[in-house]
Amino acid sequence: MYIKRSMEKYIETAGNDFKAILVTGARQAGKSTLLKHLFPERAYLTFDDLNITMAGSILLCSLPS
């Protein structure tokens, strides 16, 4: 069962305006479910896996400031 959230319209707008968006919050709050519901055709990345977290850190460090 999907629970509609009040922030959906803001997240949809951000998703249409930007190539990537970041949704943070408490564990098991429905962040991934929300994104999969709003953007079923888009890929998403979770930092739950330590290897992905480390790869993200390396990528961020390699970007020009």
pTM: 0.66
| C-alpha torsion 43→49→51→56, nearest 10 | 50
What is the structure's pLDDT at 7?
92
What tens digit of pLDDT does each residue of 18-51 get?
Answer: 988 888 888 889 998 999 999 999 887 777 766 6
Answer whether 5's CB lies under 8 Å from 35's CB: no
Question: Any alpha helices (H) in 1-65, and if so which ranges?
Answer: 8-17, 31-38, 50-62
What is the structure's pLDDT at 43?
84
